[in-house]
Each structure stands twice: as structure tokens, then as C-alpha cells.
Amino acid sequence: MQQLKAIISYTILVLIFPLSLLAQRNDGAVIPGDFADPSIIKVGNTYFAVGTSSEWAPHFPIFKSTDLKSWRQAGYVFDKTPEWASASFWAPEYYKIKDTYYIYYTARRKSDNTSYIGVATSKYPDKGFTDHGLLITFGKEAIDAFVFNDNRQLYITFKAYGLDNRPIEILASKLSADGLKLEGEPFSLLKDEQKMGMEGQSILKKDGYYYIFYSAGNCCGVRCSYNVRVARAKSFAGPYEVYANNPILSENDKWKCMGHGTFVKASNGADVYLHHAYNKESVAMTGRQGLISELVWPKNNEWPSFKTQQIMGSTVSDIHDDFTTNTVAKYWQWDFRNSSPVVKQQKGMLYLLGNVKQGNETGVVITTRPVSGSFVMTATVLNNNAALKGLAFYGDANAALGIGTQNNQVTIWQVKGNKFTTLAQGAVKAKTIVQLKLELDTDKICKFYYKQGAGDWKQLITESPIKANTLPQWDRSPRAGLHFKGDENQNARFANFSLVNR
């Protein structure tokens, strides 16, 4: 009866607030949270954007919008990992040939751990993609595909020589009419003579010039230096002249390390650039977020610029999920290299269990993307067993922390250096539902709370403050979510989950 009352009370609470868009604020990111290397395509009056998923599965999240400001997740390119690939799902690129949608993407080949470019197709922009395997296996690395149609001849461009002792180059190759095969030998478009970096290219043609917009500098982390540069030529094959006043997009008062994006026409005919950047306040805690900047074309063939680095604003949505549907929410992802979660949802409960790779001391975690450097995450655990189950803040299998229940105890735990450590424990009543809360403050310190029944939250104190600054990985932000660590005959049952960004 107590369990039923708790479920009813939480259902009433969630009905007061929408499932998403609980809170709104204008912070400049159109696709907030970790959404690096985005590509965009317009289909009728709807825009679709796809971004890097790195080591999270499902691979390559897809969002959709009708106004370039408010975006909702539509799905993923791959629900199942492509057979040839093992990790590092980066830089997906949209293209359309006739009635077929293409995603050209980067991933690591299983056989040698080398990053190459694959291709997948679908009759829909946001679902049903079939992988066709590897397309480009060039040298020690071939990444960041971009397709360009020059007078009905398709070309695919990519970054090469990033791992060689020589300047990076943007190479191009003719692409077959069906988009699935290279034709002829690759040739060079642009060489990084100054060794500043060169990747994430996007090409536009305007008034007789071919313009290559590319990213230079260090892409990722707190020491990033990313920026957008431009070069142009009278023919697609070059030679290209590098703009003397580069970079043309780098940072403003709130965002830094802007780069790697593609262009699309806005409803007013303007060329807008969907790209990523770090928020200067939260940086690696929220990752490279999706922003839109407007490109300005001056008269008399002068060089283009980004209009005062203007960033289109949007709303930020929090999550409040009571699991009343039979469909698991699209925002959940997991570290596919280290665990295989089993998730099902019915009658106001989410069930979580699964297998972990040998050496994974954390367990199974399904996660979502925080969009702020400070948040409050809560969940209600319904079952009492020997498995550890609750909330986790997860960077990698060797960099995670959380709070959970196990038998008649509540536990704060941390995994660091491949070692699982119990940091604090408290007693809970048997056969009574436990509510858990994890708070991340702006100083990156985590605080942990629990309660049973209608009482107040009780803070569980550790000997020293628990900081989350060790969680971010070099190319991706940590994620917040639900945790299970137990035997295969056990599971975790949750009545609700919320993530409120502050």
C-alpha cells in the first residue's frame, strides 16, 4: 500500500509539469547539451540535425525543428552498432540524393582501431538507416566527411594526415552518382601549411567562388582553442586563397571554441551555420553544444563574415518522467563499450538491468545529457534487494559516482582508477520506497540526499567533498542518469526520474 501511495503521489506531481520543457531560459544554445560536430538538412519546412555521439549508444542523435530555435529529439541513426565499427562515432554528415537520405560518418574500425568513414542510407531523415559499411579507408586516418555537388558531379571531402608527420590536408574524391563508391584518386583542396589544424569543413559556392569553411585549433576540453576559418577559389579543385583576417568565428562573451558545422537556408533565405561551442561557465561539464550563427555575404566579392557572432537563442527543457508510457524515452543513452543495458517501461515503472564488460566496476548506467553546469537529479527506487540501484553521474566506466540503495542501506559510491569505493552509508527502513537526490553545484561539488515517506530530505555526508571535475572525458561531457549494479537475476525498479537544470 505504501508503494502504491508513493507512485500515485509522484504521478500527481508530474502531471503538474509537462514531461519536457519544464523550465525555460534563453541561453543561446539551440540544441543544448553535448551535441558536437552537427550537420543539418532541410526537408520541406522541417530541419533535421544530427551530431556526434562518441562512445554513447544509440549512435548519432537526430533532432528536428520547424524554426531553427526549438528542437526536439526525433531518434538516432543507429540503434545497433554497425558491424565494422568499434568506437568513436564522430562527425555525421547529412546529404540527400533523389529520395534517399545519406549519413556519412566517422568511426573506428574494429580490426585496427583506425578512424575511417562509413555511409548509411534511409528513405527517412530521422529513422530507418541501413549501414553500407566503410566508404573511405585512407592512410592512418580519414575523418569529417562533407559532400558537395559541383555541376552535377558529386565530391566527398575529408580530413587526412592528422596522424602523420606532415601537414593536415582537406582531400576530395569524386563520388558515384548513388553516393556509395569513390571514383578516381583523392586530390588535395587545402593544406595546413601553418600547422594550426584543419577539419570539419563545409563548402558553399557564391558569385563564382568556392568557399571552404573549416575549423582550426584544439577541438575539445577546457584548453580548447577551436575557431572557424575560410578560404576560397575560382574552381572546386583550387588553388584556394586563405583569408588574411581569419578566424571569422571564435568566441563571444558566453561561448568559446566555436567550430565544426554545416550551413542551411533559413526561412528568410539567409545562410545559417549550425556548429558547436562550449559554454564558458560550464565548459566540459555540458560539452560542445549546438549553436546557430548567421553568415553575412558582403557586396563586391568581399569575404563573408558572421554577423557580430550572433547566436540564435532557444529554450532549455528539463526532464520529468513518470514512466507511464510503454515506450522508453529517446533521450536515454549508455556507454556501449562497457555495458549492455536491458530497459523496459510499463505501468509507471522503469526496469533496469543488464550485463557489463569484464573490468567495469561501475555497472549499468542509462544516461541523459545535462545542459547546465549545475542541476538537481532525483529518482524513486521501488524495490529492495542486494543490487545497488539509484542515481549516477557518469563520465566513463572508470570515472563515475552516485547514490543508491542496497538491501536496507543507502550508499554514496565512486569509481576512480578502476576501483569502486563506498564513501558513506545510511540506514533505510525495509520494504519502504526510497527517494534519492543528487545535486551538482556550480563549483562542481556533488551533494547527496535521500528520504522515505513524507519526511524531509536527509543529506548523506562524506568525509570530504565529492567533486565531479574528474568525470569529463576529452571529447564528451559526463551524463546523468539511472544506475544498476547487481546479478543477472536482479533488477532496479524506478517510479520516476527528473533532471532540473539550474
Helix (H) or strand (E) holding 55: none
pLDDT of residue 310: 65
Distance CA 414, CA 3 (A): 29
* 431 pLDDT more than 70: yes
- Beta-bridged to residue 32, according to DSSP, are none
Average pLDDT over residues 124-148: 98
**Of the listed ranges 10-19, 21-30, 101-110, the one predicted with least confidence:** 10-19
Count how many residues are written for the chain. 502
Domains of the chain, first to last: 2-10+317-501 (2.60.120.200), 29-311 (2.115.10.20)
pLDDT of res. 418: 87
State the pLDDT confidence band at 14, using cuts at 50, 70 and 90.
very low
* pLDDT value, residue 340: 97
Residue located via cell numbers 568525470? 471
Q: What percent of the chain has pLDDT over 70?
A: 93
- Taking residues 168-183, what's their average pLDDT? 98
* Grid cell in block for residue 118: 562509413
Q: Is the pLDDT reported for residue 333 higher than 90?
A: yes
> pLDDT tens for residues 245-303?
999 999 999 999 999 999 999 999 999 999 999 999 999 999 999 999 999 999 999 99
Residue 485: pLDDT band by 50, 70, 90 thresholds? Answer: very high
Asked whether residue 316 carries a pLDDT value surpassing 80, the answer given is no
% of the chain surpassing 90 pLDDT: 90
Average pLDDT score, the chain:
93
pLDDT digits (tens, 9 = 90+) for 342-399: 999 999 999 999 999 999 999 999 999 999 999 999 999 999 999 999 999 999 999 9
* Higher local confidence (pLDDT), 408 or 11: 408
Bridge partner list, 116 = 107
Q: Number of C-alpha atoms within 13 angstroms, CB side, residue 97?
A: 19
Provide the pLDDT confidence category of residue 308 given band limits of 50, 70 and 90: low
Q: What is the pLDDT of residue 309?
A: 63
- Spacing of C-alpha 232 from chain mean position: 31
CA dihedral of residues 320, 323, 327, 330 (deg, nearest 10):
30
User: What pLDDT is stored for residue 314 in this prediction?
Assistant: 59
Q: Is the pLDDT of residue 426 over 90?
A: yes
DSSP state string for 390-454 = EEEEEEETTEEEEEEEETTEEEEEEEETTEEEEEEEEE--TTS-EEEEEEE-TTSEEEEEEE-TT
CB atoms within 10 A of CB 341: 21
Per-residue confidence (pLDDT) for residue 465, from 0 to 100? 96
- Identify whether the C-beta of residue 96 lies closer than 8 Å to the C-beta of residue 41: yes
Q: Quickly state the pLDDT bin for 455 (edges 50, 70, 90).
A: confident
Nearest to 343 by CA among 79, 50, 19: 79
- For the whole model, what pTM was predicted? 0.93
In angstroms, the Cα distances linking 395 to 192, 324, 350, 404, 424 are 33, 29, 22, 17, 21
| pLDDT (0 to 100) of residue 107 | 98
* Angle 305-67-373 from CA coordinates, rounded to 5°: 75
Note if the bond before 61 is cis, omega within 30 degrees.
no
Nearest to 34 by CA among 474, 498, 500, 497: 474
